[in-house]
Structure 1
Amino acid sequence: MVSYDELTPPERALWDAFPDGRRLDLRTGTPEADHVRGGGRWGAERTVRAAVIAALLLGANTTQSGAVGSLRLAGARITGPLNLSGAQIGHSLWLEECWFEESVDLFAASTQTLSLIGSRLPGLNAGSSRIEGRLDLRRCVMDRGPVSQFHGKVTVVLLIHAHVAGEVLLSGAEITAPGGWAVSAGGMVSEGGVFFRDGFVAHGGVRMRGAQLPGGLFMRGARLESPGPDGVALAVDNVVASSLNFSGGFTANGTVRLRGAQISDSLSFEGAVLNGAPDGEGPVLLGMLLQAVDFDFTLARPPAGAVDLRGARVSYLHDSRQSWPDVVELDGFVYGTIKVDEAGERREAAVRREPVADRVEWIRRSSGYSPQPYEQLASWYRSVGHDDDARRVLLAKQRHRRRTLPPANRVWGLLLDLTVGYGYRPWLAGLWLVVLTLLGTLAFDAHTPSPMKPGEGGPFQPLVYTLDLLIPIGGLGQRTAWYWTQDSLQWLAYLLIGCGWVLTTTFIAGMTRTLQKN
């Protein structure tokens, strides 16, 4: 137990200030001398042992009647380990611009508001802790990591399964864990929201898988300079949050994982930069099975790697021409409305009459063929009353599918395409019929055939004869009444009969497919 008699002058001042919550400020007022990165050189007049802080928080100096005790200290060099693991702390801890010799351990502790604003410390272990106020780590510099590690990787800020009643504030902080986790907060609950804004920088990954964030996650302007394990810059898989904000210059040098995330309001990447891992491996965004109401993907520039949105569901999709990379996985991606950002103006893509070819090209950036993205896009066009555009999309789907078929099926598909556009362009059959009718009429009009039965039947009529050859059902009486002695014209007649059967068959097949889909 710490004895008052063995305390140093700054420790006695802190001891005396604690009962009524007065702040002890040991700073000199000179910016150069007070810079926290040089705190290791501060002398005895600014040094406080971590054991003294722990003793006060655990009740070594009884709070005065009518006052609220709290530990408020600024500009101190804190030596030794601050170990409060498992402690029940009934006082707030407020430290500003302090330099810690060793990491802070609050594993499984229960405490009030914890503030380490602008301080420099090796790391913080607050896993499984319960903080009834806020956790404030704004402008902190942390660069060595706590003793405990996560899955064998260096972890500087450990918040796994922590429960914070207020906000978690890391805005302006700089955390360094090359190849490890700068922040590991899987399963954390933060009722007031998590804030990584105003210049937050992480050299290493940020992991928040399965976190419960009813107050949201805000990383506007944050920079994830290097990835953590497996090239992951940010892992928020299976997070449940009101909103996720990665806007305003948010930069990720590594994969951003959102697999299975459930966002009740908005997911925003407006103005973000997704560079992916330095080696170029893996997607820049893995958003499989995510759910959100509003998904803003208007990036500052095209992503440096693939975007995977397979199985994702959103109500509103906002994008722009520079939103999508060369590879986009969209199988199972469902959206209600598409809004396009262009020159700072957002309008529904259908209202702007965005070229269908641009959207089809977006779908074809997938690594393979899948019918669902085409069906989804066509369904959206139909929902906004653009049935012609929907048919164009479905025609593009059939053409894409044809490339995956065996050679014989590709030939049949090509015939369907050329003759009736797979049923989505039935007027093509009429056009072919007109061309073939004109060809036959001109060819047969220049010659006279021989009658099957001389002296019987009406005169030869080239137009009616041609139509009789092209129409496979019924008959107009001309085809059976005349024959050709010239081989070339007889073969032309056979060709027209064959074309008539092909046109009729493909027209029926194409129209059947269209009626089934619609």
Structure 2
Amino acid sequence: METDDLTPAELRVWRAFPRGTDVDLRTTEDADPAAGSAWGPERTVRAAVLRSLLLNGPREDGETALLSLAGARVTGVLDLQYATIEVPARLRHCHFDEVPRLYGCRLRELNISESVLPGLVAHGVHVEGILRMTRSRFRGVVRLGGAQIAGSLYLEGAEISAPDPQTPALQLNQVTVGDDLWAPGLRVEGEIRLSGAGIGGTVNLNEVRLSHLGHAALDAETLGVGGHVLVRYARVRGWMSLRGARIGGRLDLSYTQLSNPGEAALRASSSTIGELWLRNGPPLDGTLNLRRAQLEVLFLDSAMVPERVLLSSLTYTSLIPHEPAERRLPMLERDGDGYVPHAYEQLSAGYQRIGDDRAARAVRLAKERRHRATLSGAGRLWGLLQDATVGYGYRPLRAAGWLLSLLCVGSLVYALHHPPALKPSEAPAFHPVFYTLDLLLPVISFGQEPAFAPEGRYQALAYVLVLTGWILATTVAAGVSRTISRQ
């Protein structure tokens, strides 16, 4: 490109390039690039000039070339598709009239912070350093699918809105980032697609505002993250999907509001996560789906549990904070899959690991009662009997109370009305307490029951004591066996 064809503003940029000197065309520090379409020729640079500089701009010996431009209106399409750019490009506080095209481009570094763009096409872009779009505003789709960024990707404070709600607004699917994805304060109207992405460091989405109600606000299926995923103090309208994600550190949703009424609010099924934190926020407005998830630590405030959960095959090593079983059990009763035995076993095992045997027994008892509701006629009746008598074996003192009550009744009745001896000459001395024990305890004999034969209604009482004794003995044995098997 001949310098004679350049405007005064373009000539400044051209001359500054070989030495890497900054060119700032702003008249005031707070000039809003959103108004850039009204900027005159003194602040206008053609995209073709920038392309020529980046591809084969002038060089000076002993100097490092750099494109550093601020406060410009960029007209035309900045087309760098499949190009290899060996110098860093910094286009800050700029207004782009048309969507830059960086498909398959190779860059040292790109910084378009605090600029306003109608979108970005950068599928498969390779960046050797960092890609910085801090506080940039996009009025269209940002396409970075398959991008490879050796350093970090910065999107903090950026704003993105897609005119077509069916098209993901921020496309980061299959992207590879060597360090962090840093985007606190990001605002997106539409979907963020992170499916299949790999992030070596941390994903920071603190204080984001995502809005795509009834649809995916964040689709991060099979996401792989070496560090943490931080989504603290966020507001998400639409569902978050982390199905099949692999997160080495913490998925932190503390103080976050997730809202997608009538549908899933958080999907983390089949994921493997070091720690999942759901705390200090309002209840999820929508379903919490943790089916088949594998967690080391589940930090879950009972107050954040929504009205519907899906917990089938969820496994976790630790459940914190430590709360009474009575506060944890309602979560299991809200499972959309109905009665899920594994969920009760997991909760019981969690209490058992920290030595809270009372809470563990309470969970197992709740499991038996929930299971009873799934049975029919005879099974449900037998369950009611076990529950009333010995609490399915988890309330052994209840059986002792029943036996003691029956022993008192039988001893009093037979003390007042001795049953006649079958063989008076051979019968031992009658003792009402041991006679009643003989009736109640089927495996113990004190020699009283075979020697005496009550008559009439006292014989009917004897039958009741024998039958009740057998039932109590059977339920106690079943409960003890069940308890031992849990251990």
Contact 1:220 1:245 in 2 (8 A): no
Supply the distance in 1 between the matched residues of 2:297 and 2:200 (Cα, whole angstroms). 21
Residue of 149, 171, 177 corresponding to 1:190: 177
1:79 corresponds to which of 69, 75, 81: 75
Q: Which residue of 2 aligns with 1:101?
A: 97
1:352-406 Cα offsets, whole Å, 9 max, x none, are xx32211222322222111222212222222222223222221111111111122
Are 1:267 and 2:251 counterparts? yes
Is residue 356 of structure 2 the alignment partner of residue 371 of structure 1? no
Equivalent position of 2:406 in the other structure: 436
Cα drift, residue 30 of structure 1:
6.6
**Per-residue CA shift, 1:257-279, capped at 9, x if unaligned?**
11121111222112211122xxx
Cα displacement (A) at 1:26: 1.3
> Shift of residue 100 of structure 1?
0.7
How far the C-alpha of 1:161 sits from its partner, in A, is: 1.0
1:215 and 1:505 map into 2 onto residues whose CA distance is 59
The structural deviation recorded for 1:456 is 4.1
Secondary structure of the corresponding residue to residue 218 of structure 2: strand
CA deviation after TM superposition for structure 1 residue 474, in Å: 4.9
- Which structure 1 residue ranges, 4+ long, deviate > 6 Å from structure 2? none
Whether the 8 Å CA contact 2:324–2:359 is kept in 1: the answer is no
- Number of residue pairs matched by the alignment: 484
Aligned to 2:434: 464
Percent of aligned pairs with the same amino acid: 36
Distance in 1 (CA, whole Å) between partners of 2:223 and 2:417 is 80
Q: CA deviation at 1:245?
A: 3.6
Equivalent residue number for residue 286 of structure 2:
305
Residue 460 of structure 2 corresponds to 491
The code of the aligned residue for 2:168 comes to W
* Aligned-partner Cα distance in 1 for 2:271–2:452: 70
Aligned counterpart for 2:319 among listed residues 317, 338, 359:
338
Deviates more, 1:454-463 or 1:360-369: 454-463
One-letter identity of the residue aligned with 2:468: C
Amino acid corresponding to residue 27 of structure 2 in structure 1: T
Q: Tell whether the 8 Å contact from 2:67 to 2:89 is kept in structure 1 after alignment.
A: yes
Partner of 1:48, secondary structure, is strand
Question: In the alignment, does 2:231 pair up with 1:243?
Answer: no
Partner of 1:88: 84
Whether 1:43 aligns to 2:13 is: no
Runs of 5+ consecutive residues of structure 1 not aligned to the other structure: 145-155, 341-348
Tell me, yes or no, if the aligned pair for 1:127 and 1:161 is still in contact at 8 Å: yes
1:299–1:247: structure 2 CA closer, same or farther, 3 Å change rule?
A: farther
* Cα contact 1:221–1:246 (8 A) shared by 2: no
| Matches of 1:418 and 1:9, distance apart in 2 | 93
- 1:454 offset after TM fit, Å? 4.8
Instruction: State the 1:425 CA deviation.
Output: 2.2
Of 287-296 and 209-218, deviating more is 287-296
CA 1:465–1:472 in 2, change beyond 3 Å: closer, same or farther? same
Query: Equivalences for 1:406-425 in 2 at 5 Å?
Result: 406-425=376-395
Q: Would you say the 8 A contact 2:231–2:251 is kept in 1?
A: no
Q: Is the 8 A contact 2:201 2:228 kept in 1?
A: no
Partner SS state of residue 318, structure 2: strand
Matching residue of 1:162? 147
CA contact (8 A) 1:167 1:191 kept: yes
Instruction: Report the aligned-residue RMSD.
Output: 1.8
Aligned in 2, Cα 1:286/1:55: closer, same or farther, shift over 3 Å?
Answer: same
1:320-335 matched pairs, under 5 angstroms: 320-335=301-316
Query: By how many angstroms is 1:436 displaced?
Result: 0.9
Query: For residues 139 and 152 of structure 2, what CA distance do their matches in structure 1 show?
Result: 23
Contact 1:242/1:266, CA 8 A, preserved across alignment: no
Counterpart Cα distance in 1 of 2:74 and 2:389? 83
1:389 to 359, 377, 382: 359
Give yes or no for the alignment of 1:8 onto 2:4: no
Q: Which runs of 5+ in 2 are unaligned?
A: none
* Pairing partner for 1:281 from 230, 251, 262: 262
Distance 1:484 1:424 in 2: 36
Contact 1:42 1:77 in 2 (8 A): yes
Does 2:199 correspond to 1:218?
no
Which one-letter code corresponds to 2:278 in the other structure? F
Contact map agreement 1:132 1:166 (CA 8 A) in 2 = yes
CA distance in 2, matches of 1:85, 1:322: 51
Return closer, same or farther for 1:213/1:62 CA change in 2, 3 Å cut-off: same
- SS of 2:124's equivalent? coil
Alignment counterpart, residue 202 of structure 1, candidates 181, 185, 188: 188
Equivalent residue, structure 2, for 1:345: none
| Counterpart residue number, 2:124 | 128
| TM-score for both structures, normalised by structure 2 | 0.95
Structure 2: how far apart are the matches of 1:292 and 1:255?
Answer: 19
Deviation at 1:458, TM superposition (A): 2.9
Instruction: Check whether the contact 2:232–2:252 (CA below 8 A) recurs between aligned residues.
Output: no
For the 8 Å contact 2:229–2:247, the answer to whether it is kept is no
Counterpart code for 1:210: G
**Could you tell me which residue of structure 1 aligns to residue 277 of structure 2?**
296
8 Å contact 1:334–1:376 — kept in the other structure?
yes
1:491 and 1:404 mapped to 2: Cα distance?
Answer: 35
* Match 1:172 to one of 157, 162, 176: 157
Decide whether the 8 Å contact of 1:269 with 1:299 is kept in 2: no
1:56 aligns with 2:53: yes
Change (3 A) 1:131 1:477: same
CA distance in 1, matches of 2:355, 2:454: 53
Letter in 2 for 1:167: S
Moved more, 203-212 or 14-23: 14-23
In the alignment, is residue 141 of structure 1 matched against residue 137 of structure 2? Answer: yes
| Paired amino acid for 2:40 | G
Alignment of 1:65-76 (within 5 A): 65-76=61-72
1:500 is displaced (CA, Å) by 1.1
- My pick for the range that moved more, 48-57 or 475-484, is 475-484
1:15-65 Cα offsets, whole Å, 9 max, x none, are 22212212221111274xx31111111112211111111111111x33111
Normalising by structure 1, what TM-score? 0.89
